[in-house]
């Protein structure tokens, strides 16, 4: 199976989650249910670190983009493994601290931040604050002068290199406009980067890094554009240093992840890392650290959602498997992003029996509430357990109580 990993495997035509029969897990804990795998999360983390081995002598910092899945146990697992945290709100900072991360392992990248947000993050000693706009510095200055006058606060600049990539317009986070014309709100435009560092220094902040995040859900097709962005990053960092602002680190954001479908050509993280290391080596930039902010990559394929088929329904030649969960409450991505796909398997008979085109429909009052539209799969029976794959990232964290349906329980095995 193209999706098999250390968490998901098939034994006697049944889905196993680690060493556990998925149908038995569903029976023991009830459905709908999120199941996450510690082994897979750790395997993803070490695979990314390993990609750097022998490629650079610089320090590597992996900031987990906890918006992907802020489950306390997952944060603790990654903390023990040596990860740092990319937090985007005071709430995320508080959860990271609760999981035991010290503030110097947290990087705060907020957008449209308020004085209240800044007060909370400045209060944490050694937390690095990422600046999203030169205009944001006026607010930062006011908060600093009022409450943190003599405090050393390290900052980075999130810049927008004019190149953005993502699987859907809504998650392209750099460039001028998205594929469908939405103005992109993130980052400091190229010509204002030096000015932002200059003003930050003038206001008493300590420049420490340069950062970008281009977007999410890259495939092989995005590689060339991403390489161009790496080149621009190195060039910009060199300009920043020439202007007298020293940089400790370059942060290349996130964006790469697991495969969501068999026909998706995987973005090669290994080649990406190799490219970054090679370019930095040639540049003589004199930085200390290379940073990245993986979200999906670390937890996406380390989670599934288990749901139960309540009944099959046929209407106008459409065959539906009606399940006991709603997308908005569990795996909202297919309902939010056109083109988002989560592979679905029948836990008790993988690839077995007659296949038909089946729409896996949820229990919400919304036509778009489908986990999978006309997917070719063996016809399930009433009571069968289906697993919606790649449910470790941006599922629970984006789920709502729409229709007053509960968000499912989560377990880690
Ligand atoms: C600033 C920043 N860094 C990292 C990420 C992680 O992206 P991904 O999960 O695609 O790796 C995001 C996602 O939105 C982000 O906004």
The whole-number pLDDT of residue 35 equals 98
Q: Answer whether 396's CB lies under 8 Å from 69's CB.
A: yes
Cis peptide before 32 (omega within 30 of 0): yes
The whole-number pLDDT of residue 52 equals 98
Q: Does pTM surpass 0.85?
A: yes
> Which uninterrupted H or E stretch holds 136?
helix 136-147
Closest C-alpha to ligand 1, atom 1: 213
* Torsion angles phi and psi, residue 111, rounded to 5: -130, 150
Task: Average the pLDDT over 189-212 and give the result.
Answer: 98
DSSP-derived letter for residue 368 is: T
Task: Average the pLDDT over 136-147 and give the result.
Answer: 98
- Domains identified in the chain and CATH numbers: 8-37+300-412 (2.40.37.10), 109-294 (3.20.20.10)
| Res. 318: pLDDT tops 80 | yes
| Res. 350: pLDDT tops 90 | no
The whole-number pLDDT of residue 284 equals 87
Task: Average the pLDDT over 191-201 and give the result.
Answer: 98
Task: Average the pLDDT over 55-72 and give the result.
Answer: 98
Q: pLDDT tier at 332 (50, 70, 90 boundaries)?
A: very high
Q: How far is the CA of 217 from the centre of ligand 1 (A)?
A: 9
Question: Is the shortest distance between the CB of 69 and ligand 1 below 6 Å?
Answer: no
Q: ∠ at Cα 169 (164, 171), nearest 5°?
A: 70
Task: Average the pLDDT over 217-226 and give the result.
Answer: 96
Ligand 1 pocket mutation, candidates 61, 62, 63, 65, criterion most atoms within 8 A of CB:
65
Question: Is the shortest distance between the CB of 384 and ligand 1 below 6 Å?
Answer: no
Asked whether the CA dihedral 260, 261, 262, 268 is positive or negative, the reply is: negative
Ligand 1 pocket mutation, candidates 45, 84, 253, 300, criterion most atoms within 8 A of CB:
253
- What does the DSSP assignment read for 221-253? GGHHHHHHHHHHHHHHHHHHHHTT---SEEE--
Q: How far is the CA of 47 from the centre of ligand 1 (A)?
A: 18
Question: Which CB contacts under 8 angstroms, 24+ apart, belong to 350-353?
Answer: 350/1, 350/10, 350/13, 350/14, 350/15, 351/13, 351/378, 352/13, 352/378, 353/378, 353/379
Q: How far is the CA of 300 from the centre of ligand 1 (A)?
A: 12
| Res. 338: pLDDT tops 90 | no
Q: What percent of the chain is modeled with pLDDT above 90?
A: 95
pLDDT tens for 89-105 read 999 999 999 999 999 99
> Which uninterrupted H or E stretch holds 11?
strand 8-11
How far, in Å, CA of 251 to CA of 239, rounded?
16
Complete edge-to-edge strand list for the sheet that includes strand 14-17: 8-11, 14-17, 20-21
Q: Is 60 helix (H, G, I), strand (E, B) or coil?
A: strand
| Res. 6: pLDDT tops 80 | yes
pLDDT tens for 12-40 read 899 999 999 999 999 999 999 999 999 99
The whole-number pLDDT of residue 89 equals 98
| Res. 352: pLDDT tops 80 | no
Question: Is the shortest distance between the CB of 293 and ligand 1 below 6 Å?
Answer: yes
| Res. 351: pLDDT tops 90 | no
Task: Average the pLDDT over 269-288 and give the result.
Answer: 96
**Mean pLDDT, all residues of the chain:** 96
Written as six digits, the tokens of 328 are 């908005």
Q: How far is the CA of 212 from the centre of ligand 1 (A)?
A: 10
Q: How far is the CA of 362 from the centre of ligand 1 (A)?
A: 28
Residue 171 exposure: Cα atoms within 13 Å on the Cβ side: 18
Give the active site residues: 365
Kindly give the number of the ligand 1 atom that is closest to the alpha carbon of 294. 11
How far is residue 179 from each of residues 161, 187, 253, measured CA to CA in Å? 16, 18, 20
Task: Average the pLDDT over 351-375 and give the result.
Answer: 92
């Amino acid at each position: 199976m193209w999706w098999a990993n250390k968490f998901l495997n098939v034994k006697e035509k049944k889905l196993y989650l680690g060493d556990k029969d998925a149908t038995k897990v569903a029976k023991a804990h009830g459905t709908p249910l999120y199941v996450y795998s510690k082994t897979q999360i750790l395997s993803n983390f070490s695979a990314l670190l390993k990609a750097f081995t022998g490629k650079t002598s610089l320090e590597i910092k992996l900031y987990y983009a906890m918006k992907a899945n802020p489950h306390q146990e997952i944060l603790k697992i990654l903390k023990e493994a040596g990860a740092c945290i990319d937090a985007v709100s005071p709430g995320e900072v508080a959860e990271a601290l609760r999981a035991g991360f010290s503030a110097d392992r947290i990087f705060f990248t907020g957008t449209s931040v308020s004085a209240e947000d800044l007060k909370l993050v400045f209060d944490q000693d050694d937390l690095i604050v990422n600046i999203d706009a030169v205009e944001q510095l006026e607010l930062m200055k006011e908060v600093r002068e009022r409450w943190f006058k003599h405090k050393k606060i390290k900052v980075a600049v999130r810049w927008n290199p004019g190149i953005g990539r993502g699987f859907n317009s809504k998650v392209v986070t750099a460039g001028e406009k998205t594929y469908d014309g939405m103005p992109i709100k993130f980052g400091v435009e190229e010509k204002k980067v030096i000015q932002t560092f200059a003003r930050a220094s003038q206001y008493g902040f300590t420049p420490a890094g340069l950062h970008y995040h281009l977007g999410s859900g890259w495939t092989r097709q995005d590689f060339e554009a991403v390489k161009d962005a790496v080149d621009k990053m190195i060039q910009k960092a060199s300009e920043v240093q020439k202007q007298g602002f020293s940089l400790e680190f370059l942060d290349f954001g996130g964006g790469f992840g697991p495969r969501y479908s068999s026909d998706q050509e995987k973005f090669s993280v290994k080649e990406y890392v190799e490219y970054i290391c090679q370019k930095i080596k040639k540049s003589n930039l004199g930085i200390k650290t290379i940073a990245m902010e993986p979200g999906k990559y670390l937890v996406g394929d380390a989670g599934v959602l288990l749901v139960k088929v309540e009944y099959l329904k046929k209407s106008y030649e459409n065959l539906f498997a009606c399940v006991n969960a709603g997308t908005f409450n569990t795996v909202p991505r297919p309902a939010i992003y056109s083109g988002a796909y989560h592979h679905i398997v029948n836990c008790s008979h993988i690839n077995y029996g007659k296949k038909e085109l089946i729409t896996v429909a949820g229990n919400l009052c919304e036509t778009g509430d489908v986990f999978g539209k006309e997917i070719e799969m063996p016809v399930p029976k009433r009571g069968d357990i289906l697993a919606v794959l790649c449910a470790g990232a941006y599922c629970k964290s984006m789920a709502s109580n729409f229709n007053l349906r509960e968000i499912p329980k989560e377990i880690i095995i």
